[in-house]
Structure 1
Amino acid sequence: MPLRVVIFNWRDMHHPEAGGAEKYIVTVAEGLAKRGHRVTFCTSAYPGALPEEVVNGVHYTRRGGRFGIYPRALVNGLLSLHRPDVVIDVQNGMPYLTPLVSRYPVVNLVHHVHKEQWPVTFGPRAAKAGWWIESRLAPWIYRSARYVAVSDSTRHELTLQGIDPDRVDIIHNGTDATPLDDTPRSVHPSLVVLGRLVPQKRVEYALDVVASLVGDMPDLTLDVVGSGWWEPHLRDHVEVLGIEKYVTFHGHVSEAEKHRLLAGAWVHLMPSLKEGWGLVVVEAGIHGTPTVAFREAGGPNDSIVHNRTGVLVGHDPREFTDAVRELLVDGEKRLRMSDEVARWVPQFHWDESVQRWEQVLEDAAAG
């Protein structure tokens, strides 16, 4: 029987700060709508956005700004207006706390725990308050709710907050991309980093890699794909390092251009402080492009098979640089990883992700 589903997420896919988390939940929303469910997506407003809009079967309602959406969702009683059978509350660090105002079943989606990110984004007091809300208050508020995590790493972090792992379903990211057979690999050593340009993505580490390697690899290039408020700082960092001619900032690009850049690169870099899964790992992998990432980021431990589909390193940035250097120099190892990652990532399908979400929501509504 079709469900009435209300989703609370602070951004939609067209938001200027949208990233992999938005790709995930929008794909799920559209997949559910295609299966006949009535889906309402409550999110924040942004310049140029319509307050009400239907896109690919999903009804979007946009109210409030980056933080204003949270109290407006509660105070305005949006849940009672839409009368859902089940609610998806996306906890991007700050939860909506919908169980406080909802008598409907709630499923809490968590991409990753933000313990390390709070101090990077906010001052000491705000970071301490944010972590208390995420780690103490939220587990109590959602004590009767089901959870969905996008990786085993995230489920493990949730258990450290006292959440029973039996209440947490794992539903991975998928991919709908296909290999670009007509896009040749770059003839020169090339790197790509893709994501929102914000401090926690630590794109500076990728820039430092270039500065360390260009002495031995004068034809090395780095494509920085994405946009965000941290971009001026990154451009300043490029200037300080003196690597302007090696680095290209592409800004926000189309899906086609994104995949062209991923397919052409030798290695994809993910220096992020934290990732729930790392959607771009799969998107790069479908084109045979291996990824180098940090173990401490969490999710890459699940989306990367170490030394087979990519490389996981410790917390030392020098180890990150050394791993990139080895892949660029050792062509045999890189090609072996390229073949293996291209065979490994097709197992992650969006259709399967949507089907699993449908089952979770039906169970929650029935319960």
Structure 2
Amino acid sequence: MKIAVVNWRDPWHPQAGGAETFAWELARRFARAGHEVCFVTARAPGQSRRDVAEGVRFVRMGGVFSVYPLVLGWLLLRRSRFDAVLDCQNGIPFFTPWVVRRRTRVLCVVHHVHDRQFGVHLPGWLAAFGRFLEGPVSRWSYRRHASVAVSPSTVLAMRERLGWRGPVHIVPNGVSIAQPGNFVKSSVPRLVCLGRLVAHKRVHLLLDAVAELRERRPDLVVDIVGRGPEEAALRARLPEGVILHGYLPEEDKARLVAQAWLHVSASQGEGWGLSVLEAAALGVPTVAFDVDGLRDAVRPGETGWLLPEGPDNGAGLAKGLASALDELDHTYTVNCREWAARFSWDHSAGRLIDLMRGTDPGPGWEER
């Protein structure tokens, strides 16, 4: 097949995150299977307009908002070229059914519903417009097409908060991590937090919890790995014992995670929480809040702990982390590795190929 993968950013964009990992891991597998794949995306400063990597052609155009009309125009001029389009929604989809042939199979990929996050990142009027595009406009535009979600939480949110009525298939994230080789688990309690440094990840809650945790465990160390618009504000208020590493190469990141006792996510919601799976593959359990996506990625009592959302999440996180450090034992390591082993990018790519061919991909991970 000739496949267009349309995503807001590519994996080398300075603001790339889990959605970009998902799109790239699948695109490269489509190409490896013999399909002709074009990855259409925005262009960050310094990036070339065209590129090829692992058999995938990259076409880059536009910025944060201008990428949407530019991509639609590009596809309109090539509307007869593609057999299938993977239209990845990062808050707002690309509305590709408007410009491709009716017989072109379009799959809208939804990582998580952004309605509540628009208000965190955008002024009120623009947040309302974003919710209108994500809800009624998207629901109408994709009404004749199947959709893809990465977790049961996302399916539920699409049904309840967006009013999505068409078929939604679950295609989960896989996991691929660098193996750290020989490493020694930290001799002192060590926490690690992975992810983009953006407002809805709420990394500040972890910083708020550190002082209380260090009263009980003065040797506690916290490693934060990631980059993003919140980095400067977080770096300006780092408490003692916290190291903000910024970007790390995959090998260095894996080694740091493998040494940790716990992985922490304070996010207000995810599609899945790819960092949870990456940590689990290295035998590290996660402490997170009981929110969309993370409640699917973390199995309480087996691969981590889920904390209730409340009016004082900072205190709740400190208490939850203290309890987790007390309860932690080797069974969590074993359970984490077994849980992560159930997820494969190859399996996810196969499910999407079946959907693009119009065939039933069979049961998803939640049914196995």
Q: Which category of TM-score, normalised to the shorter sequence, fits these structures? A: over 0.9
Instruction: Output the CA distance in 1 between the equivalents of 2:136 and 2:109.
Output: 17
Q: Which region of structure 1 is more displaced relative to structure 2, 174-183 or 287-296?
A: 174-183
Assess if the C-alpha contact under 8 Å between 1:116 and 1:273 holds in 2.
Answer: no
Give the aligned partner of residue 193 of structure 1: 193
Assess if the C-alpha contact under 8 Å between 2:197 and 2:228 holds in 1.
Answer: yes
Give the aligned partner of residue 237 of structure 1: 237
Does residue 92 of structure 2 align to residue 60 of structure 1? no
Counterpart amino acid of residue 336 in structure 1: T
Please give the secondary structure, in 1, of the residue aligned with 2:329.
Answer: helix
Does residue 352 of structure 2 align to residue 357 of structure 1? yes
Aligned CA distance change for structure 1 residues 79 and 39 (closer, same or farther; 3 Å): farther
Instruction: Output the CA distance in 1 between the equivalents of 2:222 and 2:30.
Output: 38
1:79 CA displacement: 5.9
Instruction: Output the CA distance in 2 between the equivalents of 1:66 and 1:40.
Output: 20
Give the aligned partner of residue 262 of structure 2: 267
Instruction: Output the CA distance in 2 between the equivalents of 1:37 and 1:209.
Output: 49
1:287-306 alignment to 2 at 5 Å?
A: 287-296=282-291, 298-306=292-300
Give the aligned partner of residue 256 of structure 1: 251
Instruction: Output the CA distance in 2 between the equivalents of 1:128 and 1:177.
Output: 38
* Aligned alpha-carbon RMSD (Å): 1.7
TM-score, normalising length: structure 1:
0.93
Instruction: Output the CA distance in 1 between the equivalents of 2:77 and 2:299.
Output: 41
Please give the secondary structure, in 2, of the residue aligned with 1:253.
Answer: coil
Aligned CA distance change for structure 1 residues 257 and 208 (closer, same or farther; 3 Å): same
Please give the secondary structure, in 1, of the residue aligned with 2:51.
Answer: strand
Instruction: Output the CA distance in 2 between the equivalents of 1:179 and 1:327.
Output: 26
Give the aligned partner of residue 324 of structure 1: 321
Counterpart amino acid of residue 320 in structure 1: L
1:82 CA displacement: 7.0
Unaligned runs of 5+ in 2: 360-368
Give the aligned partner of residue 212 of structure 1: 212
1:179 CA displacement: 5.7
Q: Percent identity?
A: 38
Assess if the C-alpha contact under 8 Å between 2:111 and 2:270 holds in 1.
Answer: yes
Please give the secondary structure, in 1, of the residue aligned with 2:63.
Answer: coil
Give the aligned partner of residue 164 of structure 1: 165
Assess if the C-alpha contact under 8 Å between 1:327 and 1:334 holds in 2.
Answer: no
Aligned CA distance change for structure 1 residues 192 and 82 (closer, same or farther; 3 Å): farther
Which of 80, 83, 99 is residue 81 of structure 2 equivalent to?
83
Counterpart amino acid of residue 8 in structure 2: W
1:329 CA displacement: 2.5
Please give the secondary structure, in 2, of the residue aligned with 1:363.
Answer: coil
Q: Which region of structure 1 is more displaced relative to structure 2, 316-325 or 306-315?
A: 316-325
1:176 CA displacement: 2.4
Please give the secondary structure, in 1, of the residue aligned with 2:116.
Answer: coil
TM-score, normalising length: structure 2:
0.92
Instruction: Output the CA distance in 2 between the equivalents of 1:78 and 1:92.
Output: 21
Give the aligned partner of residue 366 of structure 2: none
Assess if the C-alpha contact under 8 Å between 1:179 and 1:286 holds in 2.
Answer: no
1:134 CA displacement: 0.4
Instruction: Output the CA distance in 1 between the equivalents of 2:82 and 2:208.
Output: 49
Segments of 4+ moved more than 4 angstroms: 178-181
